[in-house]
Amino acid sequence: MLKAFVAFAFALSLPSSLAAQDPDSPTNLKQPNVVWIIPDDMSANFSCYGETAIQTPNVDRLANRGVKFTNAYVTAPVCSTCRSAFITGMYQTSIGAHHHRSGRGQKKIYLPEAIQLIPKMFQDAGYYTSVTGWPVAKGRLGKTDYNFEWDKSVYDGNDWSGRKKGQPFFAQFQTRGGKRRGKDSDGWEQVATNAEKRFGTRMSTDVVKLPPYYPNHPDIVSDWAAYLDSVRMTDAMVGDVIDRLKQEGELENTLVLFMTDHGISHARGKQFLYDEGLHVPLVIAGPGITAGQIRDDVVEHIDIAALSLAAAGIAIPSYMQARDILANDYQPREAVFAARDRCDETVDHLRSVRTKQFKYIRNFLPQRPYLQPCAYKDAKAILIALRQYHSEGKLNEVQSLLMAQTRPHEELYDTLADPHEINNLADNPRYAQTLQELRGRLDVWMKETNDQGQVPESSEMFDSDMKVYTDRMHGPKGSPEQAQIIDNNIALMRKWAAEGK
């Protein structure tokens, strides 16, 4: 039924503005370029967002030139699901791309026929399309990580320098961001060394101020210092891209968008529906955007699809769930939504709805621990440190929240009074009406958007994806120890599912 609806809606939304255009035509020469800069694994730890431990002059200048969104949230707190969403302008749950790194084995995931990727729509409108890392690596496309089958020809190359003279370009810069710091002291030292070469200094652990739900374990503090260095390096990269646009005389005719793909990779961040995993920076500057704006209405990361098309004069398909949040007639959302499902071998099922003040989270598998076994996260020194302090009785009540072996079915937080989402109000009778309202909002959203996560992943798809994962770990570049951990985790997931847990 979804496929039929999408096909019908798409047919209605295909006026001549989506037809291929001549890149050398006078009209096309006036079209703005569109540049997305999207680092991995990074929250809004930039000085223009209130971070005081570091200065991020390049992102700050971009914000001063345009608009800064203070309440931007991703619809999925992990790379591939998030990226599958923003490259289509659709909720990952609506297009079957909600499981992290899914469709990678023999069983594939296919988009409904009418849905096109954003670069394809730019390409059809006469744009040169590219995706790259930074610095640009010759001949190598940048990170895509989409959970469905797609045609690489939607990208003309990995750098806009390959375009025809006068041809507008849509360029994506996908960079490592918070992943620069790695998982342990080796990675921390590497990013600190690079920062020292670039800035002459590295971050001191003395300036680190952790959220109250993390203990001051030396490894957690060192990791956070390295993370701040990765933010500094990301800010410098933004400056490099802006400088290139200036040097080539393209800056004034380029919409530059800076966003991250989800929050920091940490125990309570990436893969979870707390703000540490969902809240991201979103800064946009370019032609037609009034400088110095600050917007505090809630927006979703998929909205970058619609606003970018609109900026280029490309019709936004009526099926698209993204909204042009820069439109003069835009009506602000009252709430934003997010979902977390299987991540690698770890099966989970969470949904959330957030307004400017309240966050509601529903845990569909409440009998499982928050920190389920996950080979990717469990290999990080910060998780090892957290579990060490827990076993030694060194965590306080707040820091112990994430160590619980079961979860409440529902969580409700007043994010204005409780920005760290510590005090669960779901059982507080004073908030019964708010709970009921947000519960209803979530139910309606899941139904209206055809949330495919409400049907458990088939054993065939799970087995297909796990084979790819385990084959890689058992291969020559894998780790026998990690392979065994993953095999054990997969067996546990199957056991818990059989038990109805």
The reported pLDDT for the residue numbered 407 is 98
d(CA 421, CA 138) in angstroms, rounded, equals 44
Residue 21, pLDDT score: 38
Residue 477 has a pLDDT of 87
- Write phi, then psi, for 351 (nearest 5 degrees): -140, 150
Question: Rounded CA gap, 381 and 484, in Å?
Answer: 19
Candidates 83, 79, 49, 412; CA nearest to 263 is: 79
User: Could you tell me where the DSSP H helices lie in 66-148?
Assistant: 79-86, 118-124
CA torsion through residues 413, 415, 416, 418, sign: positive
How does 272-304 read in b/e, with b if 16+ C-beta sit within 10 Å?
Answer: bbbbbbbbbbbbbbbeeeeeeeebebbbbbbbb
What is the CB-side half-sphere exposure of residue 169 using CA atoms within 13 A?
25
Please state the CATH superfamily assignment of the domain spanning residues 2-177+254-330 in this structure: Alkaline Phosphatase, subunit A (3.40.720.10)
Q: How far apart are CA 68 and CA 59, in angstroms?
A: 10
Amino acid present at 365:
L
Task: Determine the pLDDT at residue 17.
Answer: 32
* DSSP labels, 130-189: EEE-SSPPTT-------SS---GGGS-BSSGGGSPTT--EEEEEEE-GGGGG-SSHHHHH
For CA atoms 492, 270, 367, 404, the dihedral sign is: positive
Q: Label the pairing between strands 336-340 and 128-132.
A: unpaired
Do 115 and 319 form a contact (C-beta atoms < 8 A)? yes
Q: Apex CA 276: angle with CA 258 and CA 402, to 5°? A: 160
Q: How far apart are CA 137 and CA 139, in angstroms?
A: 6
Q: What is the CATH number of domain 340-462?
A: 3.30.1120.10
Written as tens digits, the pLDDT of the chain (501 aa) is: 444 444 444 443 433 333 333 444 333 447 999 999 999 999 999 999 999 999 999 999 999 999 999 999 999 999 999 999 999 999 999 999 999 999 999 999 999 989 999 999 999 999 999 999 998 988 899 999 999 999 999 999 999 999 999 999 999 999 999 999 999 999 999 999 999 999 999 999 999 999 999 999 999 999 999 999 999 999 999 999 999 999 999 999 999 999 999 999 999 999 999 999 999 999 999 999 999 999 999 999 999 999 999 999 999 999 999 999 999 999 999 999 999 999 999 999 999 999 999 999 999 999 999 999 999 999 999 999 999 999 999 999 999 999 999 999 999 999 999 999 999 999 999 999 999 999 999 999 999 999 999 999 999 999 999 999 999 999 998 889 999 999 999 999 999 999 999
Given the structure tokens 């929250």, which residue do they identify? 43
The radius of gyration of the chain's CA atoms, rounded to the nearest angstrom, is 22
pLDDT value of position 138: 84
Nearest to 18 by CA among 132, 137, 118: 118
Could you report the per-residue pLDDT of 476-485, keeping only the tens digit for each?
988 899 999 9
- pLDDT at 135 (0 to 100): 87
> Contact, 292 vs 306, CB < 8 A?
no
∠ CA 364-365-368 to the nearest 5 degrees? 155
Task: Supply the DSSP symbol for 252.
Answer: G
> How high is the pLDDT of residue 200?
98
| Domain range annotation of the chain | 2-177+254-330, 340-462, 463-501
Of the candidates 87, 72, 85, 84, the one whose C-alpha atom is nearest the C-alpha of residue 42 is: 72
pLDDT in tens, 282-332: 999 999 999 999 999 999 999 999 999 999 999 999 999 999 999 999 999
Residue burial 331-367, b: 16+ Cβ < 10 Å; e: rest: eebebbbbbbbbbbbbbbbbbbbbbbebbbbbbebee
What are the residue ranges of helices labelled H in 14-136? 26-29, 57-65, 79-86, 118-124
